[in-house]
Amino acid sequence: MNKIYLDNAATTPLSEEVIDAMVSVLKNNYGNPSSTHSLGQAAKILIENVRRQVADYLHVSPAEIIFTSCGTESNNMIIKSCVNHLGVERIISSPMEHKCVAETVLDMKKRKGVEVAYLRPDQKGDFDLTQFEALLKSSDKKTLVTLMHANNEIGNLLDIKEVARICKENNALFHSDTVQSMAHMDLDFSDIQVDFASCSAHKFHGPKGSGFAFIRKGSGLKGIITGGPQERSLRAGTENVCGIVGLGKALELYLNNMNEYASHIKEIKQYTIDQLTKKINGVKFNGRSAEKDAGLYTVLSVLLPFKDPMIGLKLDMKGIAISQGSACSSGASKPSMVMMMILDEEEMAKTTPLRVSFSHLTTKQEIDSLVGAVAEIAATLQIENANVLHR
């Protein structure tokens, strides 16, 4: 059975061109980029070309890009070094963050005694920036603000330009987890005064195990992996040349086709909203994900009007790979923190969240299969519930 893949916020399939570029590096560019001979230097040039390419995309200097193994490592490095090396005593974050940020913030609270304050979202998943500014001003402690750009479960976008402005005005450092938005939209960090950001190649058809951290020049941030002087001594260890080249190729392909990809995905997303609304009575959509041009275009967070914790498994058995929320939490028995924040008790008890996340490869036929499968599951549940009532 051909799988239907609707879990692109968890990861994306590799593009053929990315595979070809990586295989070529594996075969031909085995030199260690730290070696001074020509084979080593050829590998070094490949890395530096990608660094320049990433820097051009973000309108920053190549020296501000540090290659890492993933988004999780980038976020860990930034938050931990802010506390360990930059004197941060307070962190302002939110309950909507990805686990790799949330757990790292908690770790800094437990092990380093950092004060942590959380901004609460409203029912749409948005933050009140006036409240945020008041919270920022409420203490003289050196503060790091860590708030994600695009939420991985409901797709809400934060106004990072305005948050960065407020942070600058109040002398706070600003880190944004940009893993879901990187490559999917234009980001100009010469205009958006964020201090630190993160990227993961596998979210835009690049390889797993390859990402980078953006670290603004002069910030004084240090690495958490010590050893050799690679990556300006900020990330020791022989570079993943093949992974970095894969990231570069994936970024090039995405940026060259961004308008075409985005318009295809937006059309498919609207089709999904229309079909679900037509076929599933009482369906709702979470956060800003169903609003035109409001949330991240790749994510649609659906709220199904029935309770079925097994829905992911049932859809998988029908050949559809899809998540209810974040891939990192989907094996957990606890409900997602994001859903707990935006849904009331009754909704939590009577509904089922489903995250449809698209790519440029998603087709209307695949959406028809999804909607048909969900309608079938809903009808079966109705019959089962009626049988229980008649027993």
Catalytic residues, which ones? 328
| Side chain identity, residue 344 | D
Nearer to ligand PLP, 11 or 35 (CB): 11
Q: Which residues are bridge partners to 211 per DSSP? A: 68, 200
b/e per residue 267-293 (b: at least 16 CB within 10 A): ebbebbbebbeeebeebbbbbbbbeee
CA distance 76 to 196: 12
| Side chain identity, residue 39 | L
| Interaction of residue 152 with ligand PLP, rule CB under 6 A | yes
CA distance 360 to 261: 5
Give the binding range for ligand PLP (CB under 6 A) out of 65-73, 123-131, 189-197, 369-377.
Answer: 65-73
Closest CB 278 distance from ligand PLP, rounded Å: 30
Closest CB 77 distance from ligand PLP, rounded Å: 12
Q: Which residue is nearest to ligand PLP (CB)?
A: 71
| Interaction of residue 70 with ligand PLP, rule CB under 6 A | yes
Closest CB 99 distance from ligand PLP, rounded Å: 8
Helices then strands, counting H and E runs in the chain, come out as 11, 12
Instruction: Return the structure tokens found at 276.
Output: 């679900």
CA distance 37 to 335: 54
Closest CB 75 distance from ligand PLP, rounded Å: 6
Among 129, 236, 327, 341, binds ligand PLP (CB under 6 A): 327
| Interaction of residue 158 with ligand PLP, rule CB under 6 A | no
Nearer to ligand PLP, 29 or 178 (CB): 178
Closest CB 284 distance from ligand PLP, rounded Å: 23
Q: Are 284 and 305 in contact (CB under 8 A)?
A: yes
CA 171 to chain centre: 26
Nearer to ligand PLP, 207 or 378 (CB): 207
Nearer to ligand PLP, 209 or 305 (CB): 209
| Interaction of residue 224 with ligand PLP, rule CB under 6 A | no
CA distance 153 to 287: 9
Instruction: Return the structure tokens found at 365.
Output: 């036929």
Nearer to ligand PLP, 90 or 98 (CB): 98
How many C-alpha atoms does 360 have within 13 Å on its Cβ side?
A: 16
Nearest one of 187, 241, 203 to 55, comparing CA atoms: 187
| Interaction of residue 234 with ligand PLP, rule CB under 6 A | no
Among 44, 98, 288, 355, binds ligand PLP (CB under 6 A): 98
- Sites for ligand PLP among residues 194-223 (CB under 6 A): 200, 211
| Side chain identity, residue 225 | I
Closest CB 192 distance from ligand PLP, rounded Å: 17
- Sites for ligand PLP among residues 163-182 (CB under 6 A): 177, 179-180
Instruction: Return the structure tokens found at 30.
Output: 């085995």
Question: Can you give the binding site for ligand PLP, defined by CB under 6 A?
Answer: 70-72, 98, 100, 148, 152, 177, 179-180, 200, 211, 327-328
